[in-house]
Amino acid sequence: MTSKAKGLIPRMPRLYETEDTPAEEKLIWIHFFMGESHWYAVEFDGKDTFSGYVILNGDKQNAEWGYFSLSELTELRVGLFVVCVEDGWRMREFAEIMAERHGEGWNG
């Protein structure tokens, strides 16, 4: 994980702190990715569990909000490929990211 991402993690909202925030307004703090799979982190439990939006294998129709663990992401490998943290990530609202990166078809 990049040092910038490590610096953001302690400042992230804790689990359930943003549950009253509309999905499109939630701030995405960190973006993990591998190929066409994306994990957009909104909250963190302070130990291992993130809450966020997940798109697996480019399947926007079945993408959903849920929980994922840092330990599982760091162990995930497909051949030589591993999950990465997007370098230079700029925190912004979920709706802006979805429109910019995934266009229509996201399951907000």
Helix H or strand E segment including 71: helix 70-75
Is 107 a domain residue? Answer: no
Is 108 a domain residue? Answer: no
Is the pTM value of this prediction over 0.85?
Answer: yes
Count of alpha carbons within 13 angstroms of residue 80, beta-carbon side: 0
> How many domains in the chain?
1
| Confidence at 43, pLDDT banded by 50, 70, 90 | very high
Q: Give per-residue pLDDT as tens, 67-92.
A: 999 999 999 888 888 899 888 889 99
Domain of 16, in residue numbers: 3-101
Helix H or strand E segment including 78: strand 77-78
> Is the model's pLDDT at 6 over the cut of 70?
no
Is 84 a domain residue? Answer: yes
Is 11 a domain residue? Answer: yes
**Contact in structure between 43 and 15 (CB atoms under 8 Å):** yes
Is 76 a domain residue? Answer: yes
**Residue 81 and residue 107: Cα distance in Å, rounded?**
27
**Contact in structure between 94 and 24 (CB atoms under 8 Å):** yes
Instruction: Identify the pLDDT of residue 2.
Output: 53
| Confidence at 7, pLDDT banded by 50, 70, 90 | low
